[in-house]
Amino acid sequence: MDFDLIIIGGGLAGASLAVALRASRLRIAVVETHLPADVPGWDSRIYAVSPENADFLREIGAWRHLDASRINPVHAMSIRGDAGGSLEFSAYESGLPELAWIVESGRLHRELWETMRRQHNVTLLCGISPVRFSQGAASVTVGLSDGRQANARLVVGADGVNSWVRQQAGIAATFTPYDEVGVVANFRCERGHRNVAYQWFRPDGILALLPLPGKMVSMVWSAPAGCAQELLALDADSLCRRVADATSGELGYLKLETPAAGFPLRLMRVDTTVKSRIAVIGDAAHAIHPLSGHGINLGFKDARELASVLNGLAPWRDPGEIAVLRGYARQRAEEPFLLQNTTHVLNRLFGTANPVLTVLRNVGLNLTDRLPVVRHALVRYAAGGRF
Ligand SMILES: Cc1cc2nc3c(=O)[nH]c(=O)nc-3n(C[C@H](O)[C@H](O)[C@H](O)COP(=O)(O)OP(=O)(O)OC[C@H]3O[C@@H](n4cnc5c(N)ncnc54)[C@H](O)[C@@H]3O)c2cc1C
């Protein structure tokens, strides 16, 4: 089978890249081991999609198919420290309609797949894995677990944090485990959330409640491993009481809507995101602490940038040429690095029990709350990942 581009991994990053290339001449194969799962009820994996990425998803036609009654805007953020510090900011004060949109991962994933299925230039190779990789001067050959083989001028690794493509291409990655687990669950609350995203920096981790439609919220509690095991072992009522206590009853009584699940958290950096005939995007290119909610936002921006480079190519140009791929790498070099550093430092700053740092970080939050310039910078950071 001959293609121009093979995308390994049809998660949100890989699928959005394929869809963003729907008008190109490129013949694309998407290799994905698992089809998107149908999640009955509410998905426990929820994303805060930035306005910029909502625009990207609108441009590629996936957004308009999402059920509007299951998406919620974030109009404001309320951040609390662990010793009296607090910081509040809103989209309104910076002239923005919203800071983010809260979207269920599964539904967005399925919409991207539906769009991809209708695409004339995409071949879906599902339920199989790549097993062999060999690179020649003009193409890459990928052997598949069903015995077939696929050739292309460019292979994109969108296959998540343990990327097979990255390993085959010899792109080095450095992992720093946080020794924390992201515990996610959805709750129905007694009081309305008023479209506010809450975040508590606590001695036992960083707890975020994101507003879902109606009186529902989605929790991401980035907790030290021991505490996370305790949370995951609690029955529904005890978990509700524990979260209500940890959030000082801000949203009143809670009722568990979706059972808790845990995800280990780690920082992952790569030496490079491109080599001749290879590029990596999404979590294959960077993993970040979820405290800023920017993980998939970085992945969408990778997909958008790589698609823009490939869509802009003259017909005679080779999409796998390193000079072409460097255009993508240059555009995406700075932002993931800066966000990884910011979230890493914040995580470490709030993860220490040092009494001096405890006072400093809470004074820092209160000071920031009184400085309009810094507050506006934070609004831009929350809405788009840039200061
Ligand atoms: C607890 C938690 C909360 C989070 N909250 C947020 C948030 O609020 N906002 C946000 O932006 N991000 C958040 N993230 C991060 C977000 O989940 C990831 O950034 C995102 O899923 C990455 O998408 P991806 O498509 O790059 O990779 P993945 O979602 O990992 O997709 C990779 C795909 O490749 C497939 N695959 C893997 N290996 C192979 C192979 N060898 N062959 C074929 N297919 C393969 C997999 O089946 C999968 O479909 C959170 C993460 C965690 C852990």
Could you tell me if the CB of 181 is within 6 A of ligand 1? no
Q: Are 377 and 384 in contact (CB under 8 A)?
A: no
Centre of ligand 1 from the C-alpha of residue 11, in Å = 6
Same domain, 113 and 12: yes
Same domain, 83 and 163: no
Same domain, 275 and 166: yes
Centre of ligand 1 from the C-alpha of residue 377, in Å = 28
Q: How confident is the model at residue 264 (pLDDT cuts 50, 70, 90)?
A: confident
266 vs 191, more confident: 191
Instruction: Look at residue 75 and tell me if it is in a domain.
Output: yes
Instruction: Look at residue 51 and tell me if it is in a domain.
Output: no
Ligand 1, atom 27, residue with closest C-alpha: 160
Angle, alpha carbons 289-180-203 (nearest 5°): 95
- pLDDT tens string 134-155: 999 899 999 999 999 999 999 9
- CA–CA separation, 309 vs 299, rounded Å? 16
> What does the chain come to in residues?
387
Q: Which atom of ligand 1 is nearest to the CA of 9?
A: 34
Model pLDDT, residue 343: 58
Could you tell me if the CB of 311 is within 6 A of ligand 1? no
Ligand 1, atom 38, residue with closest C-alpha: 159
Instruction: Look at residue 158 and tell me if it is in a domain.
Output: yes
Instruction: Look at residue 170 and tell me if it is in a domain.
Output: yes
Same domain, 196 and 241: yes
Same domain, 112 and 244: no
Instruction: Give me 27's structure tokens.
Output: 């013949």
Q: What is the mean pLDDT of the segment spanning 255-263?
A: 93
Q: Is the model's pLDDT at 348 over the cut of 70? A: no
Could you tell me if the CB of 159 is within 6 A of ligand 1? yes
**79-83, 132-136, 277-281: least confidently modelled range:** 79-83
Q: Which atom of ligand 1 is nearest to the CA of 283?
A: 26
* % the chain with pLDDT above 70: 83
Q: Is the model's pLDDT at 31 over the cut of 90? A: yes
Could you tell me if the CB of 164 is within 6 A of ligand 1? yes
Could you tell me if the CB of 49 is within 6 A of ligand 1? no
Same domain, 92 and 110: no
Same domain, 182 and 318: no
Same domain, 121 and 35: yes
Centre of ligand 1 from the C-alpha of residue 12, in Å = 7
Model pLDDT, residue 387: 45
Characterize 112-137 residue by residue with b for buried, 16 or more Cβ atoms within 10 angstroms of its Cβ, and e for exposed. Answer: bbebbeebebbebbeeeebeebebee
Q: For position 335, which CATH number holds?
A: 3.50.50.60
Same domain, 247 and 123: no
Smallest Cα–Cα separation from 10: which of 319, 281, 269?
A: 281
Largest CA distance in the chain: 63
205: left (phi over 0), alpha (psi -120 to 50) or beta: left
Q: What is the mean pLDDT of the segment spanning 227-253?
A: 95
Q: Is residue 161 exposed (0-12), middle (13-18) or buried (19+ Cβ within 10 Å)?
A: middle
Alpha helices in the chain (DSSP H): 12-20, 51-59, 105-117, 164-168, 225-233, 236-246, 295-311, 322-331, 334-350, 355-370, 372-384
Instruction: Look at residue 326 and tell me if it is in a domain.
Output: yes
Domain count of the fold of the chain: 2
Centre of ligand 1 from the C-alpha of residue 191, in Å = 32
Domain containing 245: what range? 64-101+177-263+351-384
Same domain, 97 and 113: no
Q: Is the model's pLDDT at 279 over the cut of 90? A: yes
Same domain, 154 and 302: yes
In testing the pocket of ligand 1, which one of 33, 52, 128, 292 has its CB within 8 Å of the most ligand atoms?
33
Q: Is the model's pLDDT at 128 over the cut of 80? A: yes
Q: Are 324 and 36 in contact (CB under 8 A)?
A: no
Instruction: Give me 380's structure tokens.
Output: 């831009």
Centre of ligand 1 from the C-alpha of residue 234, in Å = 26
Q: Which residues contact 200 (CB under 8 A, 6 or more apart)?
A: 79, 80, 82, 206, 207, 208, 246, 247
Q: Which atom of ligand 1 is nearest to the CA of 285?
A: 26
Ligand 1, atom 29, residue with closest C-alpha: 11
Ligand 1, atom 4, residue with closest C-alpha: 290
Q: How confident is the model at residue 336 (pLDDT cuts 50, 70, 90)?
A: low
Same domain, 283 and 330: yes
Instruction: Look at residue 365 and tell me if it is in a domain.
Output: yes
Model pLDDT, residue 40: 78
Q: Which atom of ligand 1 is nearest to the CA of 262?
A: 1
Q: Are 18 and 10 in contact (CB under 8 A)?
A: yes
Q: For position 257, which CATH number holds?
A: 3.30.9.10
Number of neighbouring beta carbons within 10 Å of residue 173: 18
In testing the pocket of ligand 1, which one of 283, 304, 335 has its CB within 8 Å of the most ligand atoms?
283
Could you tell me if the CB of 36 is within 6 A of ligand 1? no
